[in-house]
Structure 1
Amino acid sequence: MDFNFTEEQTMVRDSLTRLVRENYDWETRRSVVASDSGWRPELWEQLAELGLLGMPFSEADGGFGGGAIDSLIVMEEFGRGLVVEPYVSTVVCAGGFFKHAGTPEQKEDHIGGIVDGSRIYACAYAEPRGRYDLADIETTAKKDGGHYMLNGHKAVVIAAPWATHLIVTARTSGERRDSDGISVFVLDKNTDGVVTRDYPTVDGRRASEIYFENVRVPANGLIGEEGKALPLIERVTDEVIAAQCAEACGAMKCAYEMTVEYSRQRKQFGSPIGKFQVLQHRMVDMFIEYEQSVSMTYLATLKLDAEPDERKRAISAAKVRLGQAAQRIGQDAIQIHGGMGMTDELAIGSYFKRLTVFDSELGNVDHHMKRHVALSAT
């Protein structure tokens, strides 16, 4: 695919490359991930000062008039550094809900908090028995006067330990897997009845199990129309997948480059292992997988504003291709590095972990293959 960025986007990309290189070298990232907090609020403030948190939002919403391509640029560079700061959950996911369905008051309040860096959002959508079905929701929100009473359990809520606010999907009517009756709410994380259990994830991020026990959510915490939120959830989820695909592309490129460099340094039988033809073939295959992934990611990102079925097909096709590529590149990188690749001494192990987890987020290869086939059959 022949795709050229604007001059402004190229400048932003170059600035991000320097930012990640200067702030996210391997030793720095390892110390950040191992710290009690697991992230750097001061770096988040720096991202806000640079305007990166406001790039995808229109000027009318208080942003800088960008869009999905701008998020792609940010996430691809973040993938190169395995950045753990909650850009996806706050800017792409929460920002997407407010951008597409927020009231003027919600946009002014919440998007303003995102752009200036004062608020962190975590999106609580997954449930223990839900698998990848966005309509499989047992968490309930019952109308109670001027409030909703929220009860339920959300699993593996990424960035929740750092969040000031939560975006929660809940069922306001209907049965467990009904497509109708689903609503989206925003609430302060410190609301009475919100109970969290925080833990680190295998790829260096932080997540929480969140339990809602008779949590009172004001009526103005409802985002969009009550009971009709599934299409909105699907749209925002597809935008998140596109951003994560861009992140995976950045991680794949670094994994490939590290592997090539290691093959030039590591010697066996008196010669660099990079001279062995069988390993050269493997590294060429890794490069091809990466290039195909970039093309699929760009195409999917450009399709985010298309008709729903066309958008879903493009996103699922990209998720399948990148899930397969992430597995191939990650595993080949580890194998060429040998036993050292499995230790914390080398950065490649962390790239392998992130690429492995990528496949399981918001639908794995099998799930999106089935989704694409079903959409293509209609």
Structure 2
Amino acid sequence: MAKLSEEQGMLRDAASDWVRESAPLARLRRLREHDTGTGYEPELYEGMVQMGWTGILVPEEYGGSAFGCLGMGLVLEQLGRQLVASPLVATAVASASVLALGGSAQQQRRWLPGIAEGRVLATLALDEGDRHAPQAITTTAIRNADGWRLDGSKRPVCYGLAADLLVVAARISDGDGHDGGIGLFLVEASADGLRRTRLHEIDTRGAAIVAFDGVQVSDAGVLGAPGGAGPLLDRALDRARACTAMEMLGAAQQAFETTLDHLKTRVQFGQLIGAFQALQHRAAGLYGELELTRSAVEAALRALDEDDADSPARVSLAKALAGDTFRLVAAEAIQLHGGIGMTEEHDAGLYFKRARSADLSYGDAAFHRERYGVLRGY
């Protein structure tokens, strides 16, 4: 397990206390009942801003703390325990990383302080189908006299309805189908020709379909070299993947602990069900998977902070394990709780839904196993 510094330990403990007091699971249930499509509670997100979490990956000169991916992961692990729905990963990890790693000084001055202060919600508009496929981009960016014209559609865009700023991945084209590589474009949600439609999913995360019909972007809105944004996108995605894996680990850990408490208190056939060896074996197996996943996820976050050349492979290993483990623990939580685990009133179903949607976010376990094999040369 990672050896935390004093500051990291304080950050984790503060996040744990805040989540227990301000964001219990009951708030997710309330959001699910009254969600207008944004997928989060503004007052809850404002609390995260006040805690300084939106600036963890933002450089200090732009109002952040530059506390690193492991620091952000420690916060997200605690948020994951209570399935807190917020645009923290979409905005303060994925979008902030694109800007911090590849934005011009002008772009960073324009957007990073707003992200750190909670004034700007941003998200990546990347995928175009049911599966995460960063290279399978058909949205086009065509050069014209005013800059670039974007045409295409993105789905699902996490927090796409609430976002003020979208970081759009598009394929550079000359209009005749010639592939010029991937470009990243900063598009404000108010841009002419941009249309957003709510996408209903099993998880409450404000997903949307975002269509671009002749959306005009000036050269000032281009991130990096047009057509050469692939490496920058991969680096930002790896941060989002590793942080999401840590959030998934927190959720899986809480689901496991809740199930363990049930095994220790539920009496059936005249004795505690936790006394049955078959159930003990299942619980022990889950514990082993959780510990293995924790080692992989924390190693990936540290590799990102150290700019380790092996970090892409470590991230894919971590995300694949987190996906497998969370889905397993969530399914076992329902089974080991018996009939009550199947009810809407019990929390097990919420963890099961979140396990499915989080696994798909930024690439599911199958995607990352294949990516890991490619990176390792298998």
Task: For residue 320 of structure 1, report the CA deviation from its aligned partner.
Answer: 2.2
Summarize deviations over 1:89-127 as a string: whole Å, max 9, x none: 000010001000111111111111101101111211001
1:342–1:361 CA distance, 2 compared to 1 (3 A): same
| Number of aligned residue pairs | 375
User: Hey, what does 2:32 align to over in structure 1?
Assistant: 33
2:73 is the alignment partner of 1:72: yes
Instruction: Give yes or no for contact 2:139–2:171 (8 Å, CA) kept in 1.
Output: yes
User: Hey, what does 1:251 align to over in structure 2?
Assistant: 251
The residue identity in structure 1 corresponding to 2:3 is: N
User: Hey, what does 2:232 align to over in structure 1?
Assistant: 232
Uncovered stretches (5+) of structure 2, i.e. residues with no partner: none
Summarize deviations over 1:201-235 as a string: whole Å, max 9, x none: 21222200111111111221111111100111111
Work out the percentage of aligned pairs sharing the same amino acid: 33
User: Hey, what does 1:327 align to over in structure 2?
Assistant: 327
Q: Which moved more, 1:357-366 or 1:132-141?
A: 357-366
Superposition pairs for residues 114-263 of structure 1, below 5 Å?
114-128=115-129, 131-173=131-173, 181-263=181-263
2:278 is the alignment partner of 1:271: no
Task: For residue 352 of structure 1, report the CA deviation from its aligned partner.
Answer: 1.5
Uncovered stretches (5+) of structure 1, i.e. residues with no partner: none
SS at match of 1:205: coil
Instruction: Give yes or no for contact 1:33–1:39 (8 Å, CA) kept in 2.
Output: no
Task: For residue 343 of structure 1, report the CA deviation from its aligned partner.
Answer: 2.0
**Counterpart-to-counterpart distance in 2, 1:303 and 1:158:** 26
2:43 is the alignment partner of 1:42: yes
Summarize deviations over 1:274-311 as a string: whole Å, max 9, x none: 11111111111111111111110011112225678622
2:19 is the alignment partner of 1:20: yes
User: Hey, what does 1:313 align to over in structure 2?
Assistant: 313
Task: For residue 33 of structure 1, report the CA deviation from its aligned partner.
Answer: 2.4
TM-score, normalised to structure 1, is 0.94
Instruction: Give yes or no for contact 1:113–1:119 (8 Å, CA) kept in 2.
Output: yes
User: Hey, what does 2:113 align to over in structure 1?
Assistant: 112
Summarize deviations over 1:227-251 as a string: whole Å, max 9, x none: 1001111111111110011001100
The residue identity in structure 2 corresponding to 1:5 is: L
User: Hey, what does 1:91 align to over in structure 2?
Assistant: 92
2:297 is the alignment partner of 1:297: yes
2:302 is the alignment partner of 1:287: no
**Counterpart-to-counterpart distance in 2, 1:327 and 1:85:** 21
**Counterpart-to-counterpart distance in 2, 1:314 and 1:63:** 26
Task: For residue 60 of structure 1, report the CA deviation from its aligned partner.
Answer: 2.5
User: Hey, what does 1:81 align to over in structure 2?
Assistant: 82
Task: For residue 176 of structure 1, report the CA deviation from its aligned partner.
Answer: 8.1
Task: For residue 327 of structure 1, report the CA deviation from its aligned partner.
Answer: 2.2
Superposition pairs for residues 336-355 of structure 1, below 5 Å?
336-355=336-355
Instruction: Give yes or no for contact 2:63–2:117 (8 Å, CA) kept in 1.
Output: no
Q: Which moved more, 1:332-341 or 1:254-263?
A: 332-341
Q: Which moved more, 1:152-161 or 1:20-29?
A: 20-29
SS at match of 2:216: strand
1:220–1:348 CA distance, 2 compared to 1 (3 A): same
**Counterpart-to-counterpart distance in 2, 1:288 and 1:353:** 23
SS at match of 1:136: coil
SS at match of 1:304: helix
Q: Supply the RMSD in Å over aligned alpha carbons.
A: 1.9
**Counterpart-to-counterpart distance in 2, 1:308 and 1:172:** 30
Summarize deviations over 1:70-103 as a string: whole Å, max 9, x none: 1111111111111111000000010001000111
Q: Which moved more, 1:29-38 or 1:162-171?
A: 29-38
1:83–1:177 CA distance, 2 compared to 1 (3 A): farther
Summarize deviations over 1:36-63 as a string: whole Å, max 9, x none: 3342111212211221111222212321
**Counterpart-to-counterpart distance in 2, 1:359 and 1:309:** 25
